[in-house]
Amino acid sequence: MKKNTKLIVILGPTGSGKTSMAVQLAKEFNGEIISADSRQVYRGMDIGTGKDLKEYVIESKVKSTPSATIEGRKSKVDFQNSQIIPYHLIDVVEPQKEFNLAQYKKLADKAIKEVADRGKLPLLVGGSGLYLQSVVDNFQLSKIKVNQELRDHLETLEADKLYKILEDLNPAFAEKIQDSDRKNKRRLIRYIEINHQGKFEGRTGESPYEVLILGLDVVREELNKRIKNRLLARLDEGMIEEVEKLHKEGVSWKRLEDFGLEYRFVGRYLQNKYPYDEMVEKLNIAIRQFAKRQVTWFKRWEKQGRVINWISSKEEAKKLIKEFLK
């Protein structure tokens, strides 16, 4: 890969408007979007993960056709008079299968290279901190070998105990892993294995990219309002039915629990562990807490030396990108 491959990163907490911003910028600068979301890689997990695939279609001003679809989802779009912004690393694996950080980084690097080789601008977009940093800071994941003896011992422990071990090994790393990973034994065991051989942040290589990172800065009160409104909208769109369908298709309640947030709380509701109103309230609080942890993670990345340009408008983003591409 060419050392001068230019990469735009757009990050922010859940509900900050990353996808909408990225699509507009991709249209402006002839770009394609590479998703950095640890759950959007899974097929069938659409509403709960906020794929918002219709946002990748920039509609013309002509009358739309209600029968059109995008990726199998209904969308009132006239494709003959609309532009679809290409996206990558969405819907790449079945939800019953494991998908880890090393797999993501390999696919992301490949997608970025292909986009750049076509003469287009790659935009890495998402809120999954480890996924973003693995690409930008070029984590050397393949060099960390399997320790079968350690794995055999860790397999006997519950997720809570595994997370405590990870905290003891590397508190900063443990704090910033995704909510869904904190209850996922396989991923916790791998993270312990990685950190057991040395601090994770130290295993980085020379980056093949010139990077501009844009962070969406949203006032806390406004973000909380967006999170609540978006949650209610997703429930209206059929989020409960989506989780129910996943379970009927073979995704276990435990697996749904591991995915966290929407899938955890809706799954519990479907198992009659919560009444509807309590489920909604608990889920809203959990999403807000998750957004707060995301912001904390981004701020820590800054303290490690990575420059994040915090913006609040498309105009600010366009100005910074134009300067970066000169």
Please tell me the predicted confidence (pLDDT) of residue 177.
Answer: 74
Domain 222-288 - what CATH class? mainly alpha
- C-alpha distances out from residue 152 to 97, 146, 301, 305, Å: 21, 11, 33, 37
**61 band by pLDDT with thresholds 50, 70 and 90:** low
Please tell me the predicted confidence (pLDDT) of residue 141.
Answer: 76
- pTM score: 0.82
pLDDT value at 323 more than 70: yes
Q: Specify the amino acid at residue 307.
A: V
Please tell me the predicted confidence (pLDDT) of residue 31.
Answer: 98
What does the pLDDT average to over 169-173? 81
Give the contacts of 28 (CB within 8 A, at least 6 positions apart).
Answer: 318
Closest C-alpha among 232, 239, 234, 288 to residue 263: 239
pLDDT tens digits, residue range 200-251?
555 677 889 999 999 999 999 999 999 999 999 999 999 999 999 999 999 9
Please tell me the predicted confidence (pLDDT) of residue 221.
Answer: 96
> Residue 56 corresponds to which tokens in the numbers above?
């990748």
**Burial class of residue 105 (count of CB atoms within 10 Å of its CB; 0-12, 13-18, 19+):** buried
pLDDT value at 32 more than 50: yes
What does the pLDDT average to over 288-306? 93
